[in-house]
Structure 1
Amino acid sequence: MRRMDNRGDFLQLLGPDVSIAILNHLDDPSDLVRACSVSRSWHRFVIENGICKQLFLKMFPEIYNEAHIIELNNMIGPTKLNGDNSSEWERLKRDHRVYAFLARGLSPSIRTDCLSEPISASSTDNYPDESIRNTLEPGDRVENRASYWSSEGENDPNVPETLTYTLVANLCVVTEIRVQPFQAFFQYDYPIYSSKAVRFRMGYPRRPLEFNNDKLASHEWGDEIIWTYTSPEFPMAQENFLQAFKLPEPVLCIGGILQVELLGRVQRQEMDELYYICVSHVQVLGRPLLQPFDIEVLDPSGSCALNYNLKTECCKSSTQSHETEAAAHVRGFTDILMQLLGNGAVVADHESDEEPPA
């Protein structure tokens, strides 16, 4: 193949500023992969100037202030470095891979179904009838039966409670959390068992969590979860509606664990004069990482591997007679993504980190 003549290369003819402006008009990470495949000079230019990061922040501007988690804290990174020995060049390549991975993998729209499964409640009054699992239901009644979680009763109104869940993905950009206190429509005067305030924590487990019904009913996780984010306290109204608590900034939750802290009790139960907190529904809004993309937390320090599970996507497609447009779009770029992500950043069936010809 004849080498490209630099006199015909617009990166050389137009200079870096104009070339960056042109490349920043691309709106798809796969287009940047193609640009990297043109020649070694294009490959290096795109990486050195952080074009993939700029595209990612253009696609997801709300995550701008979360970029430091990726870059400074080294929360996400390849499992192996190779190629150029320059530490700065390796950092640039790493950022290029990570931002391209996230740009392709994050949900393009805010979803309201980011909550997956309950892990545990700090206490439960009548298990399983008043289990934390009921908080996944969108209403306070299921088949004419009350659906809610209830804490145990306490004499002290300051005793807090916690509800702990997994998210739908190991990486999720969380923007808002909604909590609905339960109104006991079967008790006199229809009392509402809200907490005085709520607070939210996000993090990842030190080791794979083992779930069982005993822990689901009542368990404090203590040191088993490493919390990387704690929100401010939000006052909760003693009203029967889904109350929205927008986080000061979107939070990049790596590890997929969310905890709702219910601080302070308001309502006594007439029959025993004890304070309770009851919740009928919890909802999490955000942008989860979509299949077949995934994040694997490797150790308690928080280092992670970026995974693209090709088998997951293939198995998914084989069980569906009519594939969605989004799934087809992802599958169409499989080879391109493998080129971009390289063998240091992902775990997949076929990987390559070769630079394009000059």
Structure 2
Amino acid sequence: MKNGVDFLDFLYDDLSIKILTSLEDPSDLVRFSAVSRFWRHFVITNGLCKHLCLRMFPQLSRVNHVNELGGIAKGNAEAGSSNFVEWEALEREHRVYAFLARGCLSFDVRECILEAIIASSTDNYPEESIDNTLEPRDRVGRRASYWSSKGQSNPAVPETLTYKLVADLCVITEINVRPFLAYFQYGYPIYSAKSVRFRMGHVKSSMDNLVDESCQDSGNHKFVWTYTSQEFPMAQENRLQNFKLPEPILCIGGILQIELLGRVQRQEMDGLFYICVSHVQVVGRPLSPAFGIRILEPSKKFVLEASPVSTLQMRVRDLEKIVNLLRGNVVDVEHGFGWDIDDEESDEEDVDII
């Protein structure tokens, strides 16, 4: 330390990479890259922030390239050279993936469903449509609020409910489903499924109309699924049942489908099996407007698009200033965001070695 020794000089690159890829908090990796020019160059050249994101979310393996919307290219005497272009691309990837990793852990957790798209079948449309599953109450006024499938003599026939999320990129942590208790039928039967499974993905770009006017369509031919969960057992109970995913999943494309597998309740009136759902809730972290995607057909890869980090930080800081002024507080919030990647460049001017 006293002699200005950099321990990276004494390690092979493979060992340094192995040490740094063991970091789980993206903040640690960015702090590391802010220590010196050499350390920052090492992190960027080896794509360590991208590696961290891929470890967190394997779904990102379909990223073709990243793009900063509204980004301004930095001037350089070597502009136009292949080395400069390659380094600029590596820097861009570093900024975008570092910001993405942080956003996936720190953006607000909230309800993520924007609208219901389609159900595989509906018994009485629109009275029993999928739209009713967005209402947390099972009664609205004097009317029951629920979705009902068509009846089937075969209890193995599955059903699907498909929803559009609030953003093209959402980190989903849990999904809650409440089966419907038919309080107006004898015995108060509960029309749950035996089990559920979840799919996430995006719309095929060639499809403009998501909703089939007949409302009797799974819509699977209109979507590309990038993730399919394990199968979770469902209880035949009238409560909001929690299905926590084993790990947070990055939904790429903003489409989520619930597969309802197996039927347990036969309706006394006609002897057929039904599945009825009162309410569906999806919990996660929307990454919009910070991030978006652009699907590349026919490869099914996509471009990861990010708003300029500095612009987003300026908006956050301005809001913080306004809130503090309204509260009568005089607080320096210039560094309150805690994630200024551009600060790396100012830090590295003063610290080149440890």
TM-score, normalised by the number of residues in structure 2: 0.70
Paired residues of 1:173 and 1:286 also in contact (CA < 8 A): yes
What is the CA distance between 1:313 and its match in structure 2? 7.3
Task: Write the letter of the residue equivalent to 1:170.
Answer: D
SS in 2 for 1:135: helix
Could you tell me how far apart the structure 2 residues matched to 1:272 and 1:329 are?
A: 67
Q: Match of 2:66?
A: 78
Deviations 1:260-302 (A, max 9, x none): 1111111121222221110011112222213243223233423
Distance 1:30 1:234, change over 3 A: closer
Could you tell me how far apart the structure 2 residues matched to 1:266 and 1:144 are?
A: 27
Distance 1:265 1:169, change over 3 A: same
Distance 1:331 1:306, change over 3 A: farther
What is the CA distance between 1:331 and its match in structure 2? 12
Distance 1:331 1:143, change over 3 A: farther
Task: Write the letter of the residue equivalent to 1:189.
Answer: G
Could you tell me how far apart the structure 2 residues matched to 1:91 and 1:290 are?
A: 23
Paired residues of 2:122 and 2:149 also in contact (CA < 8 A): yes
Deviations 1:302-335 (A, max 9, x none): 322233457x979x99xx9x9779xx99998999
Could you tell me how far apart the structure 2 residues matched to 1:329 and 1:254 are?
A: 33
Aligned-pair identity (%): 50
Task: Write the letter of the residue equivalent to 2:222.
Answer: E
Q: Which runs of 4+ in 1 moved over 4 A?
A: 7-18, 24-34, 82-95, 211-216, 322-325, 328-337
Paired residues of 1:195 and 1:264 also in contact (CA < 8 A): yes
Distance 1:216 1:254, change over 3 A: farther
Q: Match of 1:141?
A: 139
Distance 1:334 1:199, change over 3 A: closer
Could you tell me how far apart the structure 2 residues matched to 1:252 and 1:330 are?
A: 29
What is the CA distance between 1:84 and its match in structure 2? 4.7
Could you tell me how far apart the structure 2 residues matched to 1:234 and 1:261 are?
A: 10
Instruction: State the Cα RMSD in Å.
Output: 4.7
Residue 54 of structure 2 is aligned to residue 66 of structure 1: no
What is the CA distance between 1:95 and its match in structure 2? 4.7
Aligned with 1:249 (options 226, 247, 250)? 247
Could you tell me how far apart the structure 2 residues matched to 1:102 and 1:330 are?
A: 19
What does residue range 264-303 of structure 1 map to in structure 2 within 5 Å?
Answer: 264-303=262-301
For structure 2, the 5+ residue unaligned runs are: 69-79, 325-332
TM-score, normalised by the number of residues in structure 1: 0.70
Paired residues of 2:117 and 2:211 also in contact (CA < 8 A): no
What is the CA distance between 1:121 and its match in structure 2? 0.3
For structure 1, the 5+ residue unaligned runs are: 1-6, 58-62, 341-355
Aligned with 2:125 (options 101, 118, 127)? 127
Aligned with 1:47 (options 35, 39, 44)? 44
Distance 1:211 1:268, change over 3 A: same
